[in-house]
Structure 1
Amino acid sequence: MQALLISPAWSRCCTWGLIWLVSASFLNSPENSSKQFSYSSCPLRVVRWEFQTSVVSRDIDIAAKLIGAGAATVGVAGSGAGIGMVFGSLVIACARNLSLKQQLFSCAILGFALSEAMGLFCRMVAFLILFAM
């Protein structure tokens, strides 16, 4: 439940549609239907605003989380393909010029690390979508 404080001056200068959106739950709630507040006795009135979610809405939210996490893990497959390309290119380069093996291997390890990091970032985003939101 949230409580909003609205001043009388603010409610007089705003349009009726905005005031109705904010204060509809306050005016229609059963505990406040018998009470009448006057602006002269209370400088601020408290508006209670409750959000109600249905079972269908929660199911849609869970489905959206699962779809988003699945879409975020596509980058892991791309990381695997990138690692395969790096080491495939290393084998081809070493077959062409064996004297550059050590220098090529250090470049290949750098490419492997960058490609693996992107896969881990994608996995981290998937876990954030699933468990943090």
Structure 2
Amino acid sequence: MMKLIVVLTVFSLLFATQFSNADEIESTSEAPAIHMKGGPGSLTPDECPKACDFRCSATSHQKQCLFFCNYCCNKCLCVPSGTYGHKEECPCYNNLKTKDGGPKCP
């Protein structure tokens, strides 16, 4: 019986430690805090370069991505979170199209 109590106590401590660290892991994301605001008009023009630096950090076409991301951010004051996708977070950013009808914003 004593072994069972010790095992349960150790398991409880490990379980509690696991969940207390989960909050720290979630709050320490790779994205700058700017991306946590979200939504149209959530950025100022001064915040666009930093947001676009992160947005374009995973592409091999850095120069082109940064140019168009900054263009779109300055127009919409919003950059989707992450390095790819999530464009539904910024309808203006998502709806800007090239003359051929393709997406203008990365």
Considering the TM-score relative to the shorter chain, is it more than 0.5?
Answer: no
Report the TM-score when normalising by structure 1: 0.29
TM-score (norm: length of structure 2): 0.34
More strand by share: 1
Which of 1 and 2 has greater Rg? 1
Structure with higher RCO (Cα < 8 A, 6+ apart) = 1
